[in-house]
């Protein structure tokens, strides 16, 4: 009787071991295959494209410009360095802070609309100062954000096949227009942060370092 029990026990043990040898590697193989597939899909989804790289540049300058615009108080939005009468300063006729913001937004429309083919908003004018009817901080910031939304749509049109082509309404290539909008916005960002500092306001991008 004991011998029979021993034989049954050994048979069960051997069977369990064989099943483990046969099944576990298959499960492990399936898991490894699934992991590799997921990793490959993730890499494929996150692979940069021309459109995504340009869009990232636009998003970066958009954050800087919008943060600065929102940092200027409503009662200082029409500030101009000319009002400070700084000895030796030549600020006569320079744009106010509000007009700086509108200029960036209007320029975004002029630069990026050829890429999307969208019609320019009414009232942009041709002096670079943006719509005269946009007067409040809320109106101007909305106009600014809408212009960067256009930039994202413009970036989405870029491909390696068309990037060196010129839109119908421009002599510049599509890629140059897309990146020129970024460079132009950064130029005025440098001016706008000086307007903040002239009013004793630390620019948002510098606050982490100064606080």
More confident residue, 208 or 35: 208
Name which residue leads in pLDDT, 104 or 13. Answer: 104
Confidence grade of residue 203 (pLDDT, cut at 50, 70, 90) = very high
pTM of the model: 0.77
d(CA 166, CA 177): 9
Model pLDDT for residues 134-148, shown as the tens digit of each residue: 999 999 999 999 999
Per-residue pLDDT tens digits for 38-80: 555 454 567 899 999 999 999 999 999 999 999 999 999 999 9
- What class, spelled out in words, does domain 49-205 have in CATH? mainly alpha
Q: Which 8-state DSSP code applies to residue 165? A: S
CB distance 104 to 68 below 8 Å: no
d(CA 51, CA 63): 18
Note the helical H segments in the chain: 2-46, 50-71, 97-116, 137-156, 174-198, 204-210
pLDDT at 66: 98
- Mind listing the pLDDT tens digit for each residue in 2-43? 444 433 334 444 344 433 433 444 445 455 455 555 555 454
| pLDDT tens digits along 113-136 | 999 999 999 889 888 899 999 999
Token pair for residue 2? Answer: 């004991």
């Amino acid at each position: 009787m004991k011998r029979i029990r021993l034989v049954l026990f050994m048979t069960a043990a051997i069977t369990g071991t064989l099943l483990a040898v046969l099944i576990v590697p298959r499960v492990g193989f399936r898991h490894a295959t699934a992991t590799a597939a997921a990793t490959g899909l993730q890499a494929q989804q996150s692979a940069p494209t021309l459109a995504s790289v340009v869009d990232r540049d636009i998003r970066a300058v958009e954050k800087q410009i919008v943060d600065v615009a929102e940092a200027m108080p409503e009662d200082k939005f029409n500030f101009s360095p000319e009002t400070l009468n700084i000895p030796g300063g030549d600020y006569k006729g320079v744009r106010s802070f509000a007009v700086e913001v509108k200029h960036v937004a209007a320029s975004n429309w002029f630069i990026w609309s050829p890429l999307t083919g969208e019609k320019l908003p009414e009232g942009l004018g041709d002096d670079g100062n943006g719509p005269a009817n946009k007067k409040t901080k809320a109106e101007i910031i909305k106009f600014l954000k809408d212009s960067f939304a256009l930039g994202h749509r413009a970036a989405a049109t870029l491909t390696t096949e068309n990037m060196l082509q010129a839109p119908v309404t421009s002599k510049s290539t599509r890629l140059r227009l897309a990146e020129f909008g970024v460079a132009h916005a950064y130029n005025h960002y440098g001016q706008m942060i000086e307007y903040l500092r002239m009013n004793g306001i630390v620019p948002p991008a510098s606050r982490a370092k100064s606080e």
